[in-house]
Amino acid sequence: MTALSDAQRMEKIVSLCKRRGFIFQSSEIYGGLNGLWDYGPLGVELKRNLKNCWWRVMVHERNDVVGMDGSILMNRAVWKASGHEDTFVDPMIDCRSCKSRLRADQVFEKKGAKQCPICGSKDLTEPRAFNLMFKTHVGATEDEASITYLRPETAQAIFVQFKNVLEVSRKKLPFGIAQIGKAFRNEINPRNFTFRSREFEQMELEYFCRPEQGMELLEYWKDERLKFYGNIGIPRSKLHVLTVPDEERAFYSKGTYDIEYEFPFGRQELEGVAYRTDYDLSQHQKASGKSLEYFDEETKQKFIPHVVEPSAGVDRTVLALICEAYSEDQAPDEKGNMETRIVLRFHPRVAPIKCAVLPLLKNKEPLVAKAKEIVDLLRPHMYIFYDESGAIGRRYRRQDEIGTPFAITVDFETLGEKDPALRDTVTLRDRDSMKQERIRISELTHLLLTRIA
Ligand code: ATP
């Protein structure tokens, strides 16, 4: 078998995503809308599993983090104070020949002149600021006073609720507030499938601390976040930590790392970990006139906390999980001939379906009844898929292709027809090794729960 090129690999991934119901183009029957995607039945499971893993590790397993869920629309004053209204802009260049709008950093010079990367024309405008926020109006009148924006990041809701959350949670520094939610950016060139979308989800933690703890916590959170990716099946060897150079960092940040993943289309950012100093809280305190200070009971000092922010993209991580999981190998078909098998080797923790339950034959009532009993036994603990149609090998392949790590087959031995000692045992097949083991039904729940934990 010849190795796939990166472009071929990406093409196969996009087509599998559609064919098996992970990701569809938004509004597809109307020709779609650029940069917008819908998650199908399997995609939504993968995404929820990822978000649940993040929430468990970042909130439930810690004493120093609480969660919140802010609104998408906020008072316009938030976006003025945060700087987004004035500075959340990309410089853009228009091509007068082909009418493309291009990000200035994607237009390169050739022989001393800037050239359109699409049509090659040199008839380009000067760079102009383009605000990435989607503008909308709240209420019945569409005037200047009713303007606000769809949030371009979830973080600002955390900053403006800092005081409320601090009071109700009675936390002491350092402590964090976590949030998962939608964000919207009118990206100029949405591309690379879901990688750069106009609507996406973020998983953000704002970890508040004393000024002197900032740099140390920046290192701590970078390391914690690298560990997280390892625990969901993205190996350290495919991740890279980019230290964002001084001139590219936001002026208020004292240090920023980008965690990048080797996508088939290149090394690209999955998450930013930034030490944002006290910039955000200070801005909101100034603009709102409300104190956002922290009172230290021990030293009797009042100050604005500093913050370290690990900010990850749900959609980019889902895409990384799919790219990492995609593989092709050789496996025997029904007649023993070798064929190419597509397998999504998801970590069981994030796999959309944990286990398939398959009666060997669909027209043998006792097999079907037993299989359905097993479904009822496992369903309270994990997402199970029941499938009785088609040859067993074909059913295994269908599960391999969507990354189901385990398959249980109910056969005549389960009924005790050949050997009474095997009554109430089933075969448990492993997706990656394709090995099968004989397991007692009474042991299945415990065994599977251990393997998917
Ligand atoms: P980029 O440089 O790729 O535009 P960014 O540095 O502007 O990203 P941040 O503002 O740091 O991104 O946002 C934090 C995270 O949100 C990113 O690491 C990414 O995972 C996710 N994200 C940002 N923009 C998009 C987008 N257009 N589509 C999907 N995810 C995004």
| Position in ligand 1 atom list of the atom nearest CA 190 | 27
Q: How many CA atoms lie within 13 A of 420 on its CB side?
A: 0
pLDDT of 105 over the 90 cut: no
- Token look-up 């507030």 returns 177
pLDDT of 2 over the 70 cut: no
Residue 212 near residue 313, CB atoms below 8 Å: no
Confidence of residue 171 (pLDDT cuts 50, 70, 90): very high
Confidence of residue 317 (pLDDT cuts 50, 70, 90): very high
Residue type, 313: G
Q: 390 alpha carbon to ligand 1 midpoint, in Å?
A: 43
- Token look-up 């002197």 returns 212
Confidence of residue 448 (pLDDT cuts 50, 70, 90): very high
pLDDT of 1 over the 60 cut: no
Average pLDDT over residues 279-288: 98
pLDDT of 432 over the 90 cut: yes
User: What tens digit of pLDDT does each residue of 370-386 get?
Assistant: 999 999 999 999 999 99
Which pLDDT belongs to residue 380?
Answer: 98
How far apart CA 170 and CA 185 sit, in angstroms, is 34
Q: 384 alpha carbon to ligand 1 midpoint, in Å?
A: 34
Q: 215 alpha carbon to ligand 1 midpoint, in Å?
A: 22
Please tell me what DSSP assigns to residue 58: I
Q: 386 alpha carbon to ligand 1 midpoint, in Å?
A: 38
Residue 342 near residue 333, CB atoms below 8 Å: no
Q: 271 alpha carbon to ligand 1 midpoint, in Å?
A: 7
Q: Where are the alpha helices (DSSP H) in 379-440?
A: 392-402
Confidence of residue 168 (pLDDT cuts 50, 70, 90): very high
Q: Is 273 in the pocket of ligand 1 (CB under 6 A)?
A: no
Residue 164 near residue 178, CB atoms below 8 Å: no
pLDDT of 101 over the 90 cut: no
Q: Is 84 in the pocket of ligand 1 (CB under 6 A)?
A: no
Q: Is 296 in the pocket of ligand 1 (CB under 6 A)?
A: no
Mutate to test the pocket of ligand 1, among 150, 194, 197, 200 (most ligand atoms within 8 A of CB): 200
Q: Is 270 in the pocket of ligand 1 (CB under 6 A)?
A: yes
How far apart CA 341 and CA 265 sit, in angstroms, is 23
Q: Which residues pair with 272 in a beta bridge?
A: 258, 311
User: What tens digit of pLDDT does each residue of 297-307 get?
Assistant: 989 999 999 99
Among 316, 197, 218, which Cα is nearest to 261's?
316
Which token pair is 400?
């391999």
Q: Is 409 in the pocket of ligand 1 (CB under 6 A)?
A: no
Confidence of residue 418 (pLDDT cuts 50, 70, 90): confident
How far apart CA 229 and CA 50 sit, in angstroms, is 10
Mutate to test the pocket of ligand 1, among 23, 89, 202, 248 (most ligand atoms within 8 A of CB): 202
| Position in ligand 1 atom list of the atom nearest CA 269 | 18
Protein residue with its CA nearest to atom 25 in ligand 1:
196
User: What tens digit of pLDDT does each residue of 41-72 get?
Assistant: 999 999 999 999 999 999 999 999 999 999 99
Q: Is 313 in the pocket of ligand 1 (CB under 6 A)?
A: yes
User: What tens digit of pLDDT does each residue of 327-364 get?
Assistant: 999 988 878 889 999 999 999 999 999 999 999 999 99
How far apart CA 107 and CA 115 sit, in angstroms, is 7
Q: Is 225 in the pocket of ligand 1 (CB under 6 A)?
A: no
Residue 369 CB neighbour total at 10 angstroms: 12
Q: Is 428 in the pocket of ligand 1 (CB under 6 A)?
A: no
Max avg pLDDT among 112-116, 123-127, 149-153, 414-418: 149-153
How far apart CA 15 and CA 13 sit, in angstroms, is 5
What's the whole-number average pLDDT of the chain?
A: 95
| Position in ligand 1 atom list of the atom nearest CA 204 | 14
User: What tens digit of pLDDT does each residue of 128-138 get?
Assistant: 888 899 999 99
Percentage of the chain exceeding pLDDT 70:
100
Which pLDDT belongs to residue 261?
Answer: 98
Which pLDDT belongs to residue 442?
Answer: 97
